[in-house]
């Protein structure tokens, strides 16, 4: 399967170094999913100008294996903006600890709902 990369306008949102090992030198998918959610939540919070909660994760495809010690970078791009929600495309790119070219290892779409102080949906505030 050919990896489709986000447009150059995608924002490098978060970075995590030295992924933990799960078994046989591979990293745990949960560690990558956690980094994706953290990056997505940071981008969604900035975009909506307030707190958000994740409500859906879809289209997760693991294209390549990330290995323990890899540096990962998450890139986000808004693909849909609603009245109280937004959906982001989140991609994870990994680079081996000893350098080399980065490679896309996974991607997903994550939908967040903007919430108020009581956890209820609120309108998305955009400048």
For residue 60, pLDDT over 70 is answered with yes
Domain membership flag for residue 121: no
d(CA 6, CA 13): 13
Structure tokens at 75: 């890139």
Domain membership flag for residue 4: no
Domain membership flag for residue 33: yes
Domain membership flag for residue 20: yes
Q: Which residues pair with 5 in a beta bridge?
A: none
Lowest mean per-residue pLDDT among 34-43, 50-59, 92-101: 92-101
Domain membership flag for residue 119: no
d(CA 49, CA 107): 24
For residue 90, pLDDT over 70 is answered with yes
d(CA 10, CA 124): 20
Structure pTM?
0.81
Tally of structural domains, the chain: 1
Determine contact, residues 69/63, Cβ cutoff 8 Å. no
For residue 6, pLDDT over 60 is answered with no
What is the pLDDT at residue 43?
92
To which residue do tokens 């779409």 refer?
109
Domain membership flag for residue 6: no
Whole-angstrom CA distances from 68 to 17, 27, 98, 101, 120 are 9, 5, 12, 16, 39
Q: Is the pLDDT higher at 65 or at 110?
A: 110
Domain membership flag for residue 120: no
Residue 66's pLDDT band (cuts 50, 70, 90): confident
Domain membership flag for residue 53: yes
CATH of the domain at 36: 3.10.129.10
- Rounded percentage of the chain residues whose pLDDT exceeds 70: 78
Full domain range(s) for residue 104: 11-114
């Amino acid at each position: 399967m050919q990896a489709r990369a986000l447009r150059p306008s995608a924002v490098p949102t978060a970075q995590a170094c030295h992924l933990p090992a799960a078994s046989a030198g591979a990293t745990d998918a949960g560690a990558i999913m956690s980094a994706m959610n953290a990056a997505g939540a940071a981008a969604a919070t900035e975009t909506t100008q307030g707190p958000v909660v994740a409500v859906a994760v879809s289209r997760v495809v693991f294209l390549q294996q990330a290995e323990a010690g890899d540096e990962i970078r998450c890139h986000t791009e808004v693909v849909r903006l609603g009245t109280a929600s937004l959906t982001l495309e989140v991609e994870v790119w990994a680079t081996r600890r000893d350098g080399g070219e980065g490679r896309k290892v996974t991607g997903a779409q994550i939908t967040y709902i903007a919430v108020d102080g009581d956890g209820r949906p609120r309108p998305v505030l955009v400048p």
